[in-house]
Chain A
Amino acid sequence: MSTLRTQKDASTTPPVSLTSRRGWWHRTRDGAFRGAVTGSVLVGLAVLVALIVQSLVEGWPKLNWNLITSFPSSFPEKAGIQSAIFGTFWMVGIVLVVAIPIGVGAAIYMEQFADTEAWYNRFIDVIIQNLAAVPSIVYGILGLAFLARGFLNLGPVVLTAGLTLSFLVLPVVIIASREALRAVPSSILDGALALGATRWQGVSRQVLPAAIPGIATGSILAVSRAIGEAAPLLLLGALQFITFNPTGLNSSFTALPIQIFNWVSRPNVGFHVAAAAAIIVLLCITLLMNAVAIWLRNRFQQTW
Chain B
Amino acid sequence: MAAVTTERPVSRPLQGLESGRRRYREKIIVGSLFLCAALSIVLTVGIVLALLIPSLEFFGQVSPVEFFTGTEWAPLFKNSQFGVLPLLGGTLVVTLIAAAICLPLGLLAAIYLSEYAARRTRSFVKPILEILAGIPTVVYGFFALTFITPLLRENWLFGTPPGVFNALSAGLVMGIMILPTVASISEDAMYAVPQSLRAGAAALGATKYEISTRVVVPAGLSGIIAAFVLGISRAVGETMIVLIAAGGMPNLTFNPVEAMQTMTAFIGAAGLGDQATGSIGYKTIFAVGISLFVMTLIMNIISIRLVRKYREVYD
Contacts and interface: CB of A to CB of B under 8 A. Distances in A.
A55 B212 CA distance: 38
A137 B268 contact: yes
B37 to A, nearest CB: 4
Interface stretch (A2-10, A27-35, A62-70, A89-97): A27-35
Contacts of A145: 49-51, 53-54, 286
B26 A135 contact: no
Contact of B132 (A48, A103, A136): A48
Contacts of A44: 105, 109, 129, 132, 176, 179-180, 183
- The prevalent SS among residues of B at the interface is helix
Interface string B171-208: 00000100110010000000000000000000011111
A276 B205 contact: no
B59 interface: no
A41 B109 contact: yes
B116 interface: yes
A180 to B, nearest CB: 16
Interface string B234-277: 10111110011000000000000000000010011001101001
B128 A231 contact: no
A290 B126 CA distance: 13
Given A40-B105, A109-B34, A235-B268, A51 B204 contact: no
- The prevalent SS among residues of A at the interface is helix
Contacts of B274: 237
In this complex, the interface size class of chain A, counting residues with CB under 8 Å from chain B, is 35 or more
B81 interface: no
In this complex, the interface size class of chain B, counting residues with CB under 8 Å from chain A, is 35 or more
A278 to B, nearest CB: 10
Given A106-B37, A201-B15, A261 B131 contact: no
Interface stretch (A13-21, A72-80, A182-190, A242-250): A13-21
Given A265-B244, A276-B142, A227 B39 contact: no
B14 interface: yes
Interface in B130-157: 130-132, 134-143, 145-147
B78 interface: no
A38 B14 contact: no
A257 B138 contact: yes
B240 A105 contact: no
A286 B134 contact: yes
B138 A142 contact: no
Contacts of B50: 141-142, 144-146
Nearest to A149: B277
A34 B213 CA distance: 12
A205 interface: no
Given A40-B112, A133-B303, 10 more contacts: A41-B129, A44-B180, A45-B128, A51-B140, A106-B37, A133-B230, A229-B136, A231-B240, A235-B271, A236-B271
